[in-house]
Amino acid sequence: MPSGPGTLDEASARRVRLVGIDVDGVLTDGGIYLGSVDGTSLEFKRYDIQDGLGIYFLRRAGIRVAIVTGRVSDSVRLRAAELEIDDVAQDSYARKLPAFRRILEHHGVDPEEAAFIGDDFPDLAVMRIVGLPVAVGNAAPEIANIASLRLTRHGGRGAVREFAELLLTARGEWASLTEAYVAERSVDDVNAKPAAKADPRPRGARAPGSRR
């Protein structure tokens, strides 16, 4: 039976060792920008920064994260690299189940120990085998109906972050992980590092190779 929005029990949360995530409609709002420059086709997607931090917390908790998508895109490869996600399956025919099974087998994870966040029919086969099927807030009815956890936020609008917080809170780890994150970024750099040497360049000049 599907749970209500935003409810997850501790036993179910602690069973999860790997989280699979769809891209279009989950990590993004499903919109795709297509174009070309000098004859080269380009595809752009919009990602939610808060989702990225949620994935970071999942990984810090020792939970493996995998991306499984039915489109092949450099955008996905780049975002996965940013988030340090090694398990990425991109299949232009949307054959997600075989790819996801290979990821599970590679890491010795049983399907019952996995969660998958989906939004539409290409995710259905995977969601039927995992222990914790999760639907984003704007998922197709068929996806929402089989989900054990229904999120309130839409794909590309913080749904993955919502899931991470629910899962880690149910495991009793959210508060400690977030406090550790804040503490790591509260170090007084003046005391922690030697003072930087004065820059001889005129004020406002940029160092070679620097970026803003």
In a domain, 91, yes or no: yes
**pLDDT, position 200:** 42
**pLDDT, position 6:** 64
In a domain, 194, yes or no: no
Which amino acid is it at 173?
A: E
Whether the CB-CB separation of 177 and 164 falls below 8 Å is answered with no
Q: For the domain that residue 119 is a member of, what is the CATH number?
A: 3.40.50.1000
Return the exposure string of 128-150: e unless at least 16 CB atoms fall within 10 Å of the residue's CB, then b.
ebbbbbbbbbbbbeebbeebbbb
Note down the domain range covering 74.
11-181
In a domain, 200, yes or no: no
**pLDDT, position 90:** 94
Q: How do strand 149-150 and strand 87-90 relate by DSSP bridges?
A: unpaired
Mind listing the pLDDT tens digit of every residue in the chain (212 residues)?
Answer: 344 556 799 999 999 999 999 999 999 999 999 898 888 888 899 999 999 999 999 999 999 999 999 999 999 999 999 999 999 999 888 899 999 999 999 999 999 999 999 999 999 999 999 999 999 999 999 999 999 999 999 999 999 999 999 999 999 999 999 999 999 999 876 555 544 444 444 444 444 444 33
**pLDDT, position 189:** 65
In a domain, 1, yes or no: no
Number of domains in the chain: 1
Q: In this structure, what token pair is assigned to residue 149?
A: 């956890």
The pTM assigned to this predicted structure is 0.84
